[in-house]
């Protein structure tokens, strides 16, 4: 009988990437999966070669490589399992020591005690084939359905905003749409977070911003909120199309990438500029100019978090450094867009003041390990939110100063939260405070008399309707401002809480 081929290390390298992609297929480009596969395979080959140099046997080296990969890619999952089971490890690196001891013990057994490797190899080959096959099945079926669905897009008519009259592009303003994730309204900051935001709001007013101090988001999840605002409409028709039982986000992502706002502005020769967001659902790679301010994608970041690397390298470079770099680099590059040929439409989605809390009050670094050791989520969240918000305000003020002062034609700026905050998971919807979850910062810098069309409780679905009506002479009707809650498990089962928030507001 010939020797059993050793393929399990490659299969165990493929599986973590395929498994992760199968659960994020509707919001992750296939390209990101393939890039991660190539990196993981190269990493596996290196580990396998090093093991071969030590044990001088390809099957034994394969077993050591597979053992290493299994422990490497289950480390983060094991930590999460312990954490969410209520077992909080005081020092996260204790788990790293346990994992290392397991690797040493099993490796010692394989090297010194085990003499028959064929059966081990066959078993691991079979396990690897089964795991990879299951993941491929979970990928191919949805991808096929998405492909067939997209084939019919051309047959479905799009409700587009028509150009009314041709305007001179020299006089058209650059439009900045800046989303600050989870930036809540002033009254909620005072009530819930005991934070006085008057310094920042007074700064905006002095600059000429109109602050809609009774504003709410239309939806409580980012991808829903952004899809709605960039298409100037509610999502009812889309939900009728895909069904409220669906969890597929691909249609909403498509709506964000190919949105009505950009389609309309293209009629006036606007260049569309999108900054990387670090959040696959709001990444707009198909923009005329896509500016990548993040060293790794969200998919790659999540994959890294399943490994021991954050704990091993945490004192040198932590996962928080990725977030910090993106936030600061984006705000550094944003004013540079004023040097581009006008007119341009700029889309920016910043994670701050949303978690993770990566900045202290003065921009100092926070520890990645702190969040793992919290005892009270609400207390930690309130303190972290207040400190991060203070620094976010400071950096946003610096950015706005540069944008306005460097613009040859006064720009249009929308500074807007996509939703509010909650101290519980969205699936625990009975304990969600609608006012806290949906009340947002919503500020507009509209040169000329554009602010005259604004009102205190305007919601994002009407933002571009007002702007287009004033600056482009359209006649878009202003929609009734409504707000909806939905769970992560059933994102399209909308619960209208508009009246509930209005009653709460009048108390």
Range of the domain at 128: 8-151
Give the pLDDT score at 274: 97
454 and 353, same structural domain? yes
> What are the φ and ψ backbone dihedral angles of 496, each rounded to 5 degrees?
-75, 115
Indicate whether 215 belongs to any domain. Answer: yes
8 A C-beta contact, residue 357 and residue 385: yes
User: Which position has the token pair 């930036």?
Assistant: 183
> What are the φ and ψ backbone dihedral angles of 445, each rounded to 5 degrees?
-110, 100
329 and 225, same structural domain? yes
Q: Of 200, 207, 178, give the one whose Cα is nearest residue 386.
A: 200
Give the pLDDT score at 30: 87
Q: How far apart are CA 216 and CA 234, in angstroms?
A: 14
Compute the average pLDDT of residues 313-319: 78
Indicate whether 165 belongs to any domain. Answer: no
- Where residue 157 falls among pLDDT bands split at 50, 70, 90? very low
Q: Which range among 69-78, 407-416, 419-428 shows the weakest confidence by mean pLDDT?
A: 419-428
Q: Averaging pLDDT over each range in 147-161, 166-180, 254-268, 313-327, which range is the top one?
A: 254-268
241 and 324, same structural domain? yes
8 A C-beta contact, residue 99 and residue 142: no
238 and 201, same structural domain? yes
Compute the average pLDDT of residues 310-319: 80
99 and 206, same structural domain? no
The domain boundary, picked from 122, 151, 180, lies at 151
- Integer CA distances (angstroms), 318 to 107, 321, 369, in order: 29, 5, 9
Give the pLDDT score at 16: 96
Query: Quick check: 393 pLDDT over 90?
Result: yes
Give the pLDDT score at 87: 74
Percent of the chain with pLDDT over 90: 66
Indicate whether 157 belongs to any domain. Answer: no
- Integer CA distances (angstroms), 63 to 3, 52, 98, 114, in order: 15, 10, 20, 11
Give the pLDDT score at 133: 96
Segment 76-128, tens digit of pLDDT: 999 888 877 777 776 767 888 999 999 999 998 888 877 777 888 899 999 99
Query: Quick check: 1 pLDDT over 50?
Result: no
Indicate whether 86 belongs to any domain. Answer: yes
Indicate whether 162 belongs to any domain. Answer: no
Cα-based torsion angle of the residue sequence 202, 208, 213, 219 in order, rounded to the nearest 10 degrees: -120
Residue 269 Rama label (left phi>0; alpha psi -120 to 50; beta): left
The kind and range of the H/E element at 175 are: strand 175-180
- Where residue 4 falls among pLDDT bands split at 50, 70, 90? confident
Structural domain count of the chain: 2
Q: What is the pTM of this model?
A: 0.88
Q: Of 212, 236, 241, give the one whose Cα is nearest residue 224.
A: 236
244 and 126, same structural domain? no
Segment 488-504, tens digit of pLDDT: 999 999 999 998 887 55
8 A C-beta contact, residue 83 and residue 305: no
The domain boundary, picked from 116, 151, 186, lies at 151
Segment 135-147, tens digit of pLDDT: 999 999 888 876 6
36 and 140, same structural domain? yes
Burial class (CB in 10 A: 0-12, 13-18, 19+), 484: buried
361 and 244, same structural domain? yes
8 A C-beta contact, residue 274 and residue 178: no
Q: Which range among 105-119, 198-212, 402-416, 453-467 shows the weakest confidence by mean pLDDT?
A: 105-119
Indicate whether 164 belongs to any domain. Answer: no
- Integer CA distances (angstroms), 238 to 228, 252, 280, 412, in order: 10, 8, 20, 29
215 and 147, same structural domain? no
182 and 147, same structural domain? no
Compute the average pLDDT of residues 48-58: 91
Indicate whether 307 belongs to any domain. Answer: yes
> What are the φ and ψ backbone dihedral angles of 436, each rounded to 5 degrees?
-65, -35
Give the pLDDT score at 90: 66
Indicate whether 158 belongs to any domain. Answer: no
Query: Quick check: 163 pLDDT over 90?
Result: no
Query: What is the CATH classification number for the domain harbouring 455?
Result: 3.40.720.10
The length of the chain in residues reads: 507
- Where residue 286 falls among pLDDT bands split at 50, 70, 90? very high
267 and 185, same structural domain? yes
Give the pLDDT score at 247: 86
The kind and range of the H/E element at 468 are: helix 463-471
56 and 140, same structural domain? yes
Compute the average pLDDT of residues 32-42: 94
Q: Under 8 Å CB-to-CB from 118, ≥6 apart: which residues?
A: 3, 4, 59
């Amino acid at each position: 009988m010939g020797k059993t081929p050793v393929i399990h290390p490659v299969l165990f390298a493929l599986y973590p990437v395929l498994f992760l992609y199968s659960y994020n297929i509707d919001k992750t480009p296939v390209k990101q999966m393939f890039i991660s596969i190539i990196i993981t395979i190269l990493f596996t080959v290196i580990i396998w070669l090093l093991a071969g140099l030590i044990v001088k046997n390809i099957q034994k080296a394969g077993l050591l490589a597979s053992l290493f990969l299994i422990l490497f890619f289950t480390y983060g999952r094991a930590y999460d399992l312990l954490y969410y089971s209520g077992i909080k490890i005081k020092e996260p690196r204790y788990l790293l020591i346990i994992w290392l001891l397991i690797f040493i013990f099993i490796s010692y057994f394989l090297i010194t005690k085990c003499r028959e490797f064929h059966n081990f190899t066959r078993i691991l080959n079979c396990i690897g084939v089964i795991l990879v096959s299951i993941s491929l099945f979970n990928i191919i079926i949805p991808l096929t359905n998405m492909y067939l669905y997209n084939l019919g897009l051309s047959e479905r008519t799009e409700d587009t905003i028509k150009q009314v009259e041709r305007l001179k592009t020299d006089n058209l303003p650059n439009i900045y749409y800046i989303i600050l994730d989870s930036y809540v309204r002033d009254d909620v900051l005072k009530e819930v977070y005991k934070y006085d935001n008057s310094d920042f709001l007074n700064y905006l007013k002095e600059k000429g911003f109109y602050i809609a101090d009774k504003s709410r988001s239309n939806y409580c999840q980012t991808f829903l909120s952004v899809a709605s605002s960039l298409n100037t409409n509610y999502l009812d028709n889309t939900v009728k199309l895909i069904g409220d039982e669906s969890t597929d986000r691909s249609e909403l992502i498509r709506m964000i990438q190919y949105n009505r706002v950009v389609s309309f502005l293209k009629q006036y020769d606007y260049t569309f500029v999108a900054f990387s967001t670090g959040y696959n659902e709001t990444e707009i790679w198909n923009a005329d100019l896509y500016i990548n301010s993040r060293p790794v994608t969200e998919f790659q970041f999540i994959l890294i978090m399943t490994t021991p690397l954050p704990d091993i390298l945490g004192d040198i470079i932590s996962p928080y450094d990725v977030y910090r770099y993106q936030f600061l680099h984006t705000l550094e590059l944003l004013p540079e867009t004023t040097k581009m040929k006008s007119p341009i439409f700029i889309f920016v989605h910043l994670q701050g003041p949303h978690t993770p809390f990566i900045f202290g009050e003065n921009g100092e670094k926070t520890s990645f390990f702190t969040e793992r050791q919290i005892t009270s989520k609400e207390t930690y969240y309130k303190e972290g939110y207040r400190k991060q918000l203070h620094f976010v305000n400071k950096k946003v003020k610096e950015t706005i100063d540069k944008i306005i002062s460097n613009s040859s034609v006064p720009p249009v700026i929308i500074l807007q939260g996509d939703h509010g905050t909650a101290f519980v998971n969205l699936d625990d919807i009975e304990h969600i405070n609608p006012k806290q979850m949906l009340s947002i910062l919503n500020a507009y810098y509209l040169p000329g008399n554009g602010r005259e069309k604004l009102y205190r409780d305007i919601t994002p679905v009407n933002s571009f309707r007002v702007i287009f009506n004033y600056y482009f002479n359209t006649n878009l009707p202003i929609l009734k401002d409504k707000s909806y809650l939905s769970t992560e498990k059933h994102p399209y089962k909308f619960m209208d809480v508009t009246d509930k928030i209005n009653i709460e507001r009048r108390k």
